[in-house]
Structure 1
Amino acid sequence: MPRASNSNFPAQRPSSSAPRAQPGDPIAPKKANRYKPGVKALKEIRQYQASTSLLLRKLPFARVVREIANDIVSLHRPAGTDPVGLKWKSAAILALQEATEAFLVHLFEDANLCAIHAKRVTVMQRDIQLARRIRGTI
């Protein structure tokens, strides 16, 4: 004889999803958010275009400037003389860094246009060389 349904209790449905977590179960690690290829790069591009801060670190840039200046001075110094240490004002090094970064950004803009003209999205060394050659700065 079939069971009579009791209207006080709803019928149980079979569970199609994973069992619910019970108190005391270990917490599963959250899955990392994966961006589509290129989304993160475009986000970085927008971030750097909006910022006005320097992209090269100040101390390593200052060391390179001082090293190059000392090399040039030592080439033009007569043999047997004492080395002369150059003194730099921080504003002078900062001005050089601003000019260097502006030059590099403009160079990469031109190199990017060369890559796009060649129907590529990747800037290659030959694009930078072509941009410098077109500018006349070799």
Structure 2
Amino acid sequence: MKSLSMMPKSVKIEYCKKMGVILPEMRNRMKVEREIRELQRTTNILIPSGVFNKCVREVINEYTTKLFRIEKDANLALQQAAESFLVSLFQEADMMARHCKRVTILEKDMLLAMRLKSI
């Protein structure tokens, strides 16, 4: 039998699966997939509230010169709605990428998802 380093990658992966050996690149993929599953199970907000509040203030300042105060609950509701919208947008872009037999989301996937959502 040839050494593992001399095998083609596809043969090496199949061999390692049969033998129960986990390759380093498989470990990295498993780690990322585990992290994605953990984040999908959570319901808490993921964008730091200070950063989001600053963005909201910048948008408000673009439209008016008046000084506005935003209640904590209103800010939280706005942040939850924004995160929900972004998650659904990324899900649709991911479906576009998978339809093209890709794993990576490209700019054209995001643009098409935004066009379908009529943004």
Deviation string 1:61-93 (CA, Å, 9 cap, x unpaired) is 00110121022103xxxxxxxxx3111101111
* Corresponding residue of 1:85: 67
Q: Please, which of 93, 101, 117 is the counterpart of residue 111 of structure 1?
A: 93
Given the two structures, how large is their TM-score scaled by the length of structure 2? 0.75
Distance 1:86 1:114 in 2: 39
Give the share of equivalent positions with the same residue, in percent: 36
Deviation string 1:18-63 (CA, Å, 9 cap, x unpaired) is xxxxxxxxxxxxxxx9862311110011100111110100011001
Distance 1:60 1:53 in 2: 16
Q: Please, which of 50, 58, 69 is the counterpart of residue 49 of structure 2?
A: 58
Matched, 1:72 2:54: no
Distance 1:134 1:34 in 2: 36
Corresponding letter in the other structure for 1:100? A
How many pairs does the alignment contain?
A: 96
Structure 2 gaps, min length 5: 1-23
Given the two structures, how large is their TM-score scaled by the length of structure 1? 0.65
Distance 1:34 1:104 in 2: 29
Structure 1 gaps, min length 5: 1-32, 75-83
